[in-house]
């Protein structure tokens, strides 16, 4: 008998199931302000803030709050490091007042901004009830602050922060 077909290739190279369709792109809402732009998913809702220089968003989907504030100052280059250190110390101090003896600062840093416009400061801290992730910028004319406060769970909070910060565009200086 004569062979008509030869199946010398591996069958595994032809999947029998159709490929999974990519998830539809998440619709983002652009929030534009004089000092920054941020694109946020629909689950983030802007809530009223008690101060004129602060914008607050809340996500029921993630049980998280995003707070962005701007303080305008004339900051000489030689004083920028001290301003950055004070900014981090005062924020961590406020957490410690709210949860005495229960704040664990996991990481903090102050370094030159990659664009050369000042300093970038950050810290991650947690209490038994919440995770705090902070990113700030000290420039010659302002201190720009972004904080994410989420429910316990470092990995989930960091993933949410990373996803959110990818669509955050501060305006410098």
pLDDT tens digits along 96-107: 999 999 999 999
pLDDT tens digits along 34-77: 999 999 999 999 999 989 999 999 999 999 999 999 999 999 99
pLDDT value for 15:
57
Q: What average pLDDT score do residues 5-29 get?
A: 65
Which residues lie below 8 Å from residue 111, measured CB to CB, with a gap of 6+?
Answer: 119, 120, 121
Entry pTM: 0.85
pLDDT tens digits along 117-132: 999 999 999 999 999 9
Residue 22 — pLDDT band, cuts 50, 70, 90? confident
Strand, coil or helix: 166: coil
- Hey, what domains does the chain have and what are their CATH numbers? 56-168 (3.40.1000.10)
At residue 133, φ and ψ (nearest 5 deg) are -125, 125
Distance (Å, rounded) from C-alpha 170 to C-alpha 173? Answer: 9
Whether residue 92 is predicted with pLDDT greater than 80 in this model: the reply is: yes
Q: Which residues pair with 57 in a beta bridge?
A: 46, 66
């Amino acid at each position: 008998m004569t062979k008509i077909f030869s199946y010398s290739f591996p069958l595994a190279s032809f999947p029998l199931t159709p490929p999974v369709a990519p998830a539809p792109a998440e619709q983002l809402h652009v929030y534009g302000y004089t000092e920054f732009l941020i694109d946020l998913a629909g689950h983030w809702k802007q809530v009223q803030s008690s101060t004129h220089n602060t914008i607050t968003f809340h996500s029921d989907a993630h049980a998280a709050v995003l707070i962005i504030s701007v303080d305008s100052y004339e900051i000489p280059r030689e004083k920028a490091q001290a301003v950055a250190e004070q900014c981090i110390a005062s924020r961590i101090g406020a957490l410690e007042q709210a949860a005495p003896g229960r704040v664990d600062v996991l990481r903090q840093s102050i370094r030159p901004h990659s664009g050369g416009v000042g300093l970038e400061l950050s810290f991650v801290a947690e209490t038994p009830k919440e995770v705090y992730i902070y990113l700030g910028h000290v420039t010659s004319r302002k201190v720009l602050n972004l904080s994410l406060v989420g429910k316990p769970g470092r990995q989930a909070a960091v993933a949410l922060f990373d996803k959110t910060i990818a669509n955050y565009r501060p305006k410098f200086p």
